[in-house]
Structure 1
């Protein structure tokens, strides 16, 4: 049984449309990721304003914010709001993020 030329054309056009749709979705995802970056400097400044060791707090918070793109609200606690931030630990098993 031979495959007809219109059927082959339909399959090729469908595949082309599928590839284009996939590329459009990837472009939208990349735009959302880059446009939703938070300002880590100001977020960490607010988070560390009451810290007894502000330089250490800013450094750790900045690292965590850069990796997770999230800083919990307030000056302490609330870490479970940002799961990535909450789960990051040091080599000694202590929480890395203030």
Structure 2
């Protein structure tokens, strides 16, 4: 039963390409929102405690890089589905 569902899904590659495009778009939007939230929270934290700005900035850059890496991974997987 599961095999027949998978074979039917493979036969309709147009739907798979549309799903991959939606996945890539959602990954980019999610990464943008996440990095924006990190930046806003970091600026608020620096405004409250200016003496800790170096540590906050470092942690913000590390977190943004992790989010960006996950977004790139999701976009690459979606592009592999399209090709």
**TM-score of the pair, normalised by structure 1:** 0.37
Looking at both structures, which has the greater relative contact order when contacts are Cα pairs under 8 Å and sequence separation is at least 6?
2
User: Between Structure 1 and Structure 2, whose CA radius of gyration is higher?
Assistant: 1
Q: TM-score, normalised by structure 2?
A: 0.41
